[in-house]
Amino acid sequence: MARSAQGTAYDLTGPVGAPAVVLIHGLGLTRASTWGPIAPVLARRFRVLSYDLPGHGESALPEDGVSLSTLGAQLLALMDELGIDRAALVGFSLGGMINRRVAMDAPERVSALAILNSPHERGEAQQKLVEERARATGAGGPAATIEATLERWFTEDFRRDHKEVVDEIRAIVLANDHGNYAAHRQVLAEGVRELIRPDPPIAQPALVMTCEHDSGSTPAMSWAIAKEMSEADVVIVPQLQHLGLIERPELFAEPVEAFLARVL
C-alpha cells in the first residue's frame, strides 16, 4: 500500500509499461474488499491501479464536500502523481458514476470504461426512495440501513452459506465515518442526474454490466447507459444481486479482462 500527497491510499500492480487500468470501488467499501480477487487477474496483463475513495479504507477524509466532480478530481490527481496519462476506468456502483463523470470532464485521459452495477435514470418513485434512504443514513449513520442494504446486496443463499463474508462487509461499512458516508451516499442518490443523456455522448468503448436481480442498478439501467454511449456492450449476470462481483468474482473478472484485452 502507498499513499498519495493528497492522502489517497492505493495499490499499483502489474507489468510496468502495460496499458493502465484503474479500479474504482463503491459506497462504503474499500479497494481490497471490492477488487481483492479481480485485481490479480487483471494485473497479469495490465498495469492496475486500485485506490480508496476519500475517507474510505485507508484514504484521508476529504477537507471539503464531495461531488462526482471532486471524486473525479481525486482520481485525476492520483493519475497525475503516478505519471499515468491515460487509463481504462473500471467502476463499481458509485465508481461507475465517477468513471463516467471523468470521461465527460477529461475524455483525453480515458481509454475505455467498464461500468459495473451502476445506477442511472430512475423513475420518480424509485428516485424518491433512494433519496429517503440517503437522508436516513445522514440521520443515523450506515447502521440505520445496514441490514436492509445487505439484503439488497447479497442473495439469500449467499447470506446463509457465507456468513463470514457478509459479516466482513457489514463491519467495513459500519467502520465508515458517518458524515463522510452520508455525503457519498447523497452523491450516489443525486449524481445520476448529471450523467443522463450526456452531450456529446461518451465516445470511449465501454462495457456495461449488472446483475439480474440488482434492484438499485437494474438491467434496464445498464441498457439505458449503453444506449446513450457511442460504443458499448452489455452483460447481464443471471441470478445475482448488487454485490455479485463479491459472490462470484470470476463472472466479472473474465468479461472485463476480455473486453480490456480487445480494446486496449
Per-residue pLDDT of 63-120, as tens digits, reads 989 999 999 999 999 999 999 999 999 999 999 999 999 999 999 999 999 999 999 9
H or E element at residue 115: strand 110-116
> Does pLDDT of 207 surpass 90?
yes
Cell digits of residue 149: 442494504
Residues 141-196: tens digit of each pLDDT: 889 889 999 999 999 999 999 999 999 999 999 999 999 999 999 999 999 999 99
Contact between 218 and 211 under an 8 Å Cβ cutoff? The reply is no
Band of the pLDDT at 199, cuts 50, 70, 90?
very high
Domain ranges of the chain: 2-121+192-263
Cell digits of residue 92: 463499481
Residues 227-258: tens digit of each pLDDT: 999 999 999 999 999 999 999 999 999 999 99
> Does pLDDT of 138 surpass 80?
no
Please name which of 90, 54, 86 lies closest in space to residue 71, comparing C-alpha atoms.
54
Residues 17-35: tens digit of each pLDDT: 999 999 999 999 999 999 9
Q: Which DSSP state fits 44?
A: T
Q: What is the pLDDT of residue 261?
A: 98
> Does pLDDT of 202 surpass 90?
yes
Residue 121 — φ and ψ, nearest 5°? Answer: -55, 130
- For residues 119 and 140, give the distance between their C-alpha atoms in angstroms, rounded to a whole number: 24
Contact between 102 and 195 under an 8 Å Cβ cutoff? The reply is no
Residues whose CB falls within 8 Å of the CB of residue 205, separated by 6 or more in sequence, listed in order: 112, 113, 231, 232, 259, 263
Band of the pLDDT at 56, cuts 50, 70, 90?
very high
Please name which of 74, 62, 101 lies closest in space to residue 190, comparing C-alpha atoms.
101
Band of the pLDDT at 130, cuts 50, 70, 90?
confident
- For residues 245 and 2, give the distance between their C-alpha atoms in angstroms, rounded to a whole number: 25
> Does pLDDT of 140 surpass 80?
no
CATH class of the domain defined by 2-121+192-263: alpha beta
Cell digits of residue 206: 465501454
Cis before 238 (ω within 30)? no
Please name which of 29, 24, 33, 207 lies closest in space to residue 101, comparing C-alpha atoms.
24
